[in-house]
Amino acid sequence: MKKNFHMLIVGGDVRQIEVAKIFSKKGAKVSLVGFTQVVDDSIEKIKCGIQEIDFSQVDAILVPVSGIDHEGKVEARYSDGEIALTKDHLENTPEHCVIYTGIKTPYLTNLMETTGRKVIPMFARDDMAILNSIPTAEGTLKVAIEHTDFMIHGSNVMVLGYGRVGKTIARLFDAVGAKVRVGARKEADLARIIEVGLTPFHLKNLAPVMENVDICINTIPHLILTADILDKMAQHTLIIDVASKPGGTDFEYAKEKGLKALLELGIPGKVAPKSAGAIIAKVLVELLEAELN
């Protein structure tokens, strides 16, 4: 880490606190905004308000995994008030300043285009997404155990999507003895699902296979569990949606139907914040070193 490197962390959860600690140990100057409610002696000296930041001295900015919403507001669950990152803030940063996020939201894209600052979505990287899928899968299993009155072993589990998260979730539930079916669209994915010993089906045939499902886990970030599909579900089916907000489930209809449907966002930060924070820090260090060299 170069001398006097200044990392600004704005909002987030316990993962960002871990990142702050790791970068502080590496000798970086760290400013932590949005954590006024956290009592932790190790971060007291770096906690501050966004109005205290000299943006002309900021080399990199880390925002929450969820990015920034359409109004510029940053998710900050441990803050006493709302926090926003604006165009004016970024225009005062050095030209080399880079914004790191989990996903690139429309607001961040607009900031990038209007200020000329680079925005890097870390979760677009395979290594980041794959490593992060591990605590996501463990947390999903934890949620499944807590919200059912039957064993996971022997239960009928459906996983929708066979991307980086879907693969890890399907493998973990299979490892604990569930009967796992996986829905995908690509022929290569359907073949791979067979190769690893799971049962595949094409997502175009979702409706006919919804009966007799105990737990349905969605990883697809667009509406797939529509009213028509939900009508096919047994009343006891637990839906766990881990896709990016707003998820892929018609939650209002699920509630009307009496189905238990959970949108579980930020699972790594809830079940394994220390490990999840270390993953973010590892990838962030690699990205920063690449930018600075």
pLDDT in the model for residue 293? 58
Same domain, 73 and 155: no
Other Cβ atoms within 10 Å of 222 Cβ, number: 9
**What's the rounded mean pLDDT across residues 61-66?**
90
Same domain, 156 and 117: no
Same domain, 170 and 64: no
Same domain, 172 and 117: no
**What's the rounded mean pLDDT across residues 227-252?**
95
Same domain, 142 and 258: yes
Q: Does the pLDDT of residue 88 top 70, yes or no?
A: yes
Same domain, 108 and 225: no
Q: Which of 124, 159, 188 is the last residue of a domain?
A: 124
Residue 138: inside a domain: yes
Residue 285: inside a domain: no
Q: Does the pLDDT of residue 217 top 80, yes or no?
A: yes
Three-state SS for the chain is CCCCCEEEEECECHHHHHHHHHHHHCCCEEEEECCCCCCCHHHCCCEECHHHCCHHHCCEEECCCCCECCCCEECECCCCCCEECCHHHHHCCCCCCEEEECCCCHHHHHHHHHHCCEEEEHHHCHHHHHHHHHHHHHHHHHHHHHCCCCCCCCCEEEEECCCHHHHHHHHHHHHCCCEEEEEECCHHHHHHHHHCCCEEEEHHHCHHHCCCCCEEEECCCCCCECHHHHCCCCCCCEEEECCCCCCCECHHHHHHHCCEEEECCCHHHHHCHHHHHHHHHHHHHHHHHHHHC
Q: What is the mean pLDDT of the chain?
A: 93
User: How open is the CA angle 47-48-50, to the nearest 5 degrees?
Assistant: 140
Range of the domain at 23: 6-124
**CA–CA distance, 282 with 290 (Å, rounded to integer):** 13
Q: Does the pLDDT of residue 3 top 80, yes or no?
A: no
Q: What percent of the chain has pLDDT over 90?
A: 75
Which of 107, 75, 89, 103 minimizes the C-alpha distance to 10? 75
Same domain, 89 and 168: no
CATH code of the domain in which 53 resides: 3.40.50.720
How far, in Å, are 85, 219, 266 from residue 263 at the CA level?
26, 11, 10
pLDDT in the model for residue 285? 86
**What's the rounded mean pLDDT across residues 91-111?**
92
pLDDT in the model for residue 116? 94
Residue 275: inside a domain: no
pLDDT in the model for residue 292? 61
* Token pair listed for 67: 């990015």
Same domain, 88 and 174: no
Least confident of 1-5, 99-103, 104-108, 178-182: 1-5
Residue 72: inside a domain: yes
Q: Give the tens place of pLDDT for each residue, 146-202.
A: 999 999 999 999 999 999 999 999 999 999 999 999 999 999 999 999 999 999 999
**What's the rounded mean pLDDT across residues 206-234?**
95
Unique residue bearing structure tokens 């591990």: 134
Predicted TM-score (pTM) of this structure = 0.85
**What's the rounded mean pLDDT across residues 93-99?**
93
pLDDT in the model for residue 1? 58
